[in-house]
C-alpha cells in the first residue's frame, strides 16, 4: 500500500495550516498533502488563491512585498560548512499555542454557537505547528523570530514548519517553493536567524524525503544535501533547536527504504538531526506510527539519542479503510500534543495539521470548517 504523506500548502489565511494534493501515481489510497494552515502571523499581501475569502498568512504563497524591509541574511553562504554543535537534551517546557489561528478566530466570533464549547476545549485550546510555506526571503527572519520570541516569553516550545523546498509536491496541488536550491539555502540561513536561543522544534519540509522518488537521482542527491545542510544551519544558529526529518508514514515506504534516503539527507547525524517525523496531515494510528518510526530509526542507525515526533491531530480512528484522504468521514482527533509520551524513542505527539482545517472536500482547501471540526472533536 502506498500512501503519500500530507504536505501543506497554505493558501490564503492569516492563521491556518495547509492542504492536500491530487493523485500523482502514488496509489488510490494515497493520503495526499492538503491545504492546511497552522497558526501564522500576518505576511505581505498574498497572490489570489482558490480560497478567495482567506486572509494573508505566513503559510500562504504570497508575492514578495515591494514595501517589505529587507533583512540581512545570516552569515553562512549557501554552501559553507557549518560548525559542529553538541546535541541538546529533550525539550523541557510545554508546547506553545500561537495566539492567532483560524480556529481561535472562529471561537471568538461565535460565542453563541452550540458547537463552540466542544471546538474550543478540544481543538482551539491545544498548541499547533506554525507553517512557513511562502518564499519571501526579505522578511522570513522577522516572521520566525516573532513566533520563537512569543514562545520564549511564555517559557514554551514552538513547533515551526519550513516548507519551501524546490519542486515541492512534485508539481502537484502544493507545487511551489524556492526557485532553486541556492535560493533555498539562503532562505534557510534567514529562517535559522529567527530561531533565537531557546527550545524550538523544527519539522523540516514535510514530504521532502518520502516524496523524492519523483526526482532524478542527481536532483534527489542535491535535495538531500540541502536538507542535511538545513539541519546543520539550524542547529548551529540555535543549539537548543530540535530538527526532525521526513519519514513519511506507516502506510507509505518500507522503513529500510525510507531510512536509506534519510541517511543521505543527514538524518542520522546529530550535527544536523534530532530524528524523524511522521504522519503529517495523515490518519494512521499512533501505534502504527510508533512501530514505523522505531523501525525507521533502527534502520537509520546514528546515535541512540535520535527520536521521532508523530502528528496525532486527526488519527484518533486511524486511516479510512478505503484510503480516502480528503476530509474522510468517521475520523477524530488523536492524542493531545505533548512532549511527554512515555514511549521510548518517541519524543513528542504534535498537531502539525490543525484539526478542522479542510483538505478541500468539506470546505475550501485550507479553511477552517466548523462542521468538520465538530465532527472530529465530538
pLDDT tens-digit readout, 285-315: 999 999 999 999 999 999 999 999 999 999 9
Residue 139 has pLDDT above 70, yes or no: yes
How many CB atoms within 10 Å of residue 303? Answer: 12
pTM: 0.80
DSSP lists the bridge partners of residue 242 as 201
DSSP 256-304: HHHHHHHHHTTTT-TTT-SEEEE-TT----HHHHHHHHHHHHHHH-S-T
* The pLDDT of residue 227: 98
Q: Would the CA dihedral through 348, 159, 375, 366 be positive or negative?
A: negative
pLDDT exceeds 60 at position 4:
no
Return the SS3 of 106: helix
DSSP state of 65: P
- The 3-state DSSP class for residue 309 equals strand
Strand 17-20 versus strand 34-37 pairing type:
antiparallel
First vs last C-alpha separation in the chain? 30
pLDDT at residue 46, as a whole number: 25
In terms of Cβ atoms closer than 10 Å to its own Cβ (0-12, 13-18, 19+), residue 112 is exposed
Q: Is residue 359 annotated as part of the catalytic site, yes or no?
A: yes
Measured between alpha carbons, how far is 326 from 372 in angstroms, rounded to an integer?
12
Cell 515591494, residue located: 66
Q: How far apart are CA 241 and CA 246, in angstroms?
A: 16
What's the whole-number average pLDDT of the chain?
81
201 touches 339 (CB < 8 A): no
84, three cell numbers: 559542529
> How far is C-alpha 270 from the geometric centre of its chain's CA atoms?
20
Distance in angstroms (rounded) separating the CA atoms of residues 31 and 210: 13
Grid cell digits, residue 41: 502571523
Q: Which of 100, 185, 189, 207 is catalytic?
A: 207
Helix H or strand E segment including 347: strand 346-350
- The closest of 282, 209, 277, 214 to 243, measured between CA atoms, is 277
Burial tier of 98 (Cβ tally within 10 Å: 0-12, 13-18, 19+) = buried
Rounded Cα gap, residues 177 and 170, in angstroms: 11
| C-beta of residue 103 within 8 angstroms of C-beta of residue 351 | no
Q: What is the pLDDT of residues 176-196, one digit of tens each?
A: 999 999 999 999 999 999 999
Give the confidence band of 364 by pLDDT, cuts at 50, 70, 90.
confident
Q: Which helix (H) or strand (E) holds 217?
A: helix 217-237
Candidates 206, 203, 196; CA nearest to 159 is 203
Q: Pick the catalytic residue: 100, 134, 167, 169?
A: 169
Crossing angle for the helix pair 286-300 and 255-264, nearest 10 degrees?
50
Torsion of CA 260, 265, 267, 269, to 10 degrees: 110
Residues facing 307 on adjacent strands: 275
pLDDT for 218:
98
Check whether 38 has a pLDDT greater than 70. no
C-alpha cell at 345: 524513542
Over residues 167-175, the mean pLDDT reads 84
125 included as an active-site residue: no
Confidence at residue 323, expressed as pLDDT on a 0 to 100 scale: 87
More confident: 188 or 74: 188
Residues in the chain: 378
Query: Is 207 noted as a catalytic residue in this protein?
Result: yes
> Do 237 and 192 form a contact (C-beta atoms < 8 A)?
yes
Amino acid at each position: 500500500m502506498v500512501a503519500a504523506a500530507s504536505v501543506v500548502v497554505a493558501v490564503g489565511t492569516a492563521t491556518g495550516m495547509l492542504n492536500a494534493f491530487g493523485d500523482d501515481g502514488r496509489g488510490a489510497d494515497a493520503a495526499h498533502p492538503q491545504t492546511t494552515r497552522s497558526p501564522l502571523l500576518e505576511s505581505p499581501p498574498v497572490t489570489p488563491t482558490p480560497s478567495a475569502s482567506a486572509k494573508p498568512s505566513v503559510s500562504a504563497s504570497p508575492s514578495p512585498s515591494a514595501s517589505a524591509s529587507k533583512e540581512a541574511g545570516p552569515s553562512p553562504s549557501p554552501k559553507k560548512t557549518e560548525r559542529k554543535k553538541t546535541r541538546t537534551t529533550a525539550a523541557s517546557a510545554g508546547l506553545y499555542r500561537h495566539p492567532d489561528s483560524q480556529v481561535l478566530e472562529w471561537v471568538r466570533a461565535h460565542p453563541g454557537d452550540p458547537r463552540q464549547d466542544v471546538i474550543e476545549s478540544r481543538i482551539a485550546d491545544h498548541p499547533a505547528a506554525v507553517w512557513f510555506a511562502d518564499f519571501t526571503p526579505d522578511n522570513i527572519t522577522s516572521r520566525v523570530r516573532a513566533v520563537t520570541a512569543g514562545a520564549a516569553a511564555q517559557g514554551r516550545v514552538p513547533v515551526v514548519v519550513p516548507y519551501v523546498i524546490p519542486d515541492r509536491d512534485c508539481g502537484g496541488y502544493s507545487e511551489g517553493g524556492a526557485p532553486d536550491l541556492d535560493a533555498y539555502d539562503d532562505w534557510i540561513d534567514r529562517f535559522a536567524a529567527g530561531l533565537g536561543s531557546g527550545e524550538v522544534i523544527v519539522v523540516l519540509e514535510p514530504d521532502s524525503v518520502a516524496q523524492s522518488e519523483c526526482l532524478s537521482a542527481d536532483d534527489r542527491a542535491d535535495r538531500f544535501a540541502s536538507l542535511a545542510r538545513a539541519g546543520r544551519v539550524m542547529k548551529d544558529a540555535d543549539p537548543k533547536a530540535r530538527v526532525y526529518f521526513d519519514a513519511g508514514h506507516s502506510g507509505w515506504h518500507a522503513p529500510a527504504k525510507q531510512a536509506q534516503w534519510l541517511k543521505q539527507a543527514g538524518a542520522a547525524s546529530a550535527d544536523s538531526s534530532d530524528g524523524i517525523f511522521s504522519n503529517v496531515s495523515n490518519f494512521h494510528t499512533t501505534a502504527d506510527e510508533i512501530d514505523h518510526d522505531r523501525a525507521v530509526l533502527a534502520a537509520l542507525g546514528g546515535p541512540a539519542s535520535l527520536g521521532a515526533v508523530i502528528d496525532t491531530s486527526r488519527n484518533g480512528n486511524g486511516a479510512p479503510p478505503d484510503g480516502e484522504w480528503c476530509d474522510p468521514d468517521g475520523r477524530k482527533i488523536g492524542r493531545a500534543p505533548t512532549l511527554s509520551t512515555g514511549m521510548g524513542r518517541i519524543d513528542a505527539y504534535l498537531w502539525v495539521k490543525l484539526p478542522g482545517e479542510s483538505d478541500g472536500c468539506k470546505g475550501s482547501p485550507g479553511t477552517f470548517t466548523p462542521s468538520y471540526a465538530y465532527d472530529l472533536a465530538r
